Chains A and B, each alone.
Chain A
Amino acid sequence: MKPVGGIEKKQSWIWKGGFFLASRMFLGGIFIYASLDKIFKPGLFAEAVYNYQILPDILINLTALVLPWLELVLGLMLVAGVWLPGAVMLSILLLLIFSGSLIFNMVRGININCGCFSTEPSTDPITWWTVMRDSTFLIPAFYLLFANRTEKTAGE
């Protein structure tokens, strides 16, 4: 290997590492932040889930209880770099489900509260802007899925 090529490779390695770390922290932070209010107010979050009018009644409370913890665990794993392939894929799956549910209700014309970051009704009505915001989070998620850095982090 030529020395010049080696230095370039090292620099690009550091750059990529920076992006990788930033994506992990950003996505993990978003998930952790989104989980907290819902964990403390499961009753209100259940109402938000109910208002989406997608799940059968029997699954609403269970979803309202488990989903926020799933977001918290995913967020912590992304930040800590533990079980990354699973955490990243599950994040993508969740984000697709969230965006899909938003789009579904936008198209149906159902006028509900997002319940994305806060359980407080009327703080966050769903709009195409909400859909765009949630879909944007897919960018770092897909970057993490295809990036070449997983092995360099803790827990692997």
Chain B
Amino acid sequence: MMEPLRLIHKWRRALWQIPAIIMVAGALALSSNNLRKESLPLVGDWSAVESLTTVSGDRLDISIEDASRLFRDRAVVFIDARSAADYERGHIQGALNLPWQDVDSLFLQATAGLLPGTPIITYCDGETCSLSHDLAVFLRDMGFENVRVLVNGWTVWQDADLPVDSLAEGAST
């Protein structure tokens, strides 16, 4: 064994080496991040994600890629959380309408054909729109096990040129 004094002497060097190693890593991290095409902002906005994480750590949100794949496979039911008027102007093809403000009166009617295990995706419009999130949490509480949120759904769905329905006259589909 090394004598305790020599060991302590060796460990003393860690006092300057540790901060130096951290600084080297930090410099490499920041410069490589700057060179990257899609650099990560040093301080991210996690508030939107926060509302989409359940207490048990599950994520509620679903990507547009996954949502459109499920749509193509007809493996999911979309529920529009916006008002009936917005829904009539245009919605994701085949989506049901369950306006969050009328959820108590319309819940049973809107979900009549759905089984507890039916995959459901709720959506509304706008990055900060919370209707779809509120509706998703409500549906989970009501016993639907497989509910996800397509954040800013109506906009991203249209941006991706995916099929829509419209009940209003003269509106394009």
Q: Does any Cβ of A come within 8 Å of B33's Cβ?
A: yes
- Partner pick for B29 among A43, A66, A77, A150, CB 8 A cutoff: A66
Q: How many chain-B residues does the 8 Å CB contact rule pick out?
A: 39
Q: Does any Cβ of A come within 8 Å of B70's Cβ?
A: no
Complex: A93 Cα to B20 Cα, angstroms: 15
Whether A61 and B7, one on each chain, are in contact in the complex, defined by CB atoms closer than 8 angstroms, is no
- Partner pick for A111 among B10, B25, B45, B57, CB 8 A cutoff: B57
Q: How many chain-A residues does the 8 Å CB contact rule pick out?
A: 40
Q: Name the CB-closest residue of A to B44.
A: A61
Tell me which residues across on chain A come within 8 A of B49, comparing CB atoms. Answer: 47, 50
As a 0/1 sequence over residues 26 to 63 of chain B, the CB contacts with chain A under 8 angstroms (1 = contact) are 10111011001010111111110110010011110000
- Partner pick for B56 among A43, A65, A109, CB 8 A cutoff: A109
How would you classify the secondary structure of chain B's contact residues: helix, strand, loop or mixed?
Answer: helix
Whether A50 and B13, one on each chain, are in contact in the complex, defined by CB atoms closer than 8 angstroms, is no
Complex: A61 Cα to B46 Cα, angstroms: 10
Interface residues of A (CB under 8 A from B): 39, 42-43, 46-47, 50-51, 53, 57-58, 60-62, 64-66, 68-70, 72-74, 77, 83, 85-90, 93, 105, 109-112, 145-146, 148, 150
Interface residues of B (CB under 8 A from A): 1-2, 7, 10-14, 16-18, 20-22, 24-26, 28-30, 32-33, 36, 38, 40-47, 49-50, 53, 56-59
Listed by A's residue number, 16 A-B pairs whose Cβ atoms lie within 8 Å are: A58-B43, A60-B46, A61-B44, A62-B43, A65-B33, A65-B42, A72-B25, A73-B25, A77-B21, A85-B11, A86-B20, A87-B17, A89-B18, A90-B18, A110-B57, A111-B57
